[in-house]
Amino acid sequence: MARVLVVDDANFMRVTLSTILKKEKHEIAGEAGDGAEAVRLYKELNPDLVTMDITMPVMNGIDAIKAIKAYDPNATIIVCSAMGQQKVVVEAIESGAKDFIVKPFDESQVLETVNRIM
């Protein structure tokens, strides 16, 4: 099972995603509410996987992906994005994200994506 850093500016989304992942015995290594905190926690916790929101204060998800990948080119990141943000998802994948999960979260889609990536 993976040690996961869950990144989203909405606490409700972090809790929802953490709950889904814990059901599959994944460990929540940490949670971040913005991109800058995500980069700091990534360096501190060295998780197996990061779930990354895109639209956040301080530092957005795209910039956080780039910063994490610059620090660790092997980082595994899955983007969590609302419907209708295809352009942003493409940018995230180009920045180094491995896949994306659409919000609102569908439990089976989340688990299938995480299990396939890990």
Q: Which two tokens stand for residue 70?
A: 């610059």
Question: CA angle, 76 as apex, 48 and 21 as ends, to 5°?
Answer: 55
Question: Quick one: pLDDT band at residue 17, thresholds 50, 70, 90?
Answer: very high
Question: CA angle, 12 as apex, 88 and 93 as ends, to 5°?
Answer: 20
**pLDDT for the residue 102:** 87
For the chain, what are the domain ranges?
3-45+54-97
Which residues are bridge partners to 101 per DSSP? 80
**pLDDT for the residue 81:** 83
Which CATH architecture fits 3-45+54-97?
3-Layer(aba) Sandwich (3.40)
Q: State the average pLDDT over residues 10-26.
A: 95
Rounded to whole angstroms, the Cα distance separating 7 from 38 reads 6
Nearest to 77 by CA among 92, 57, 59, 56: 92
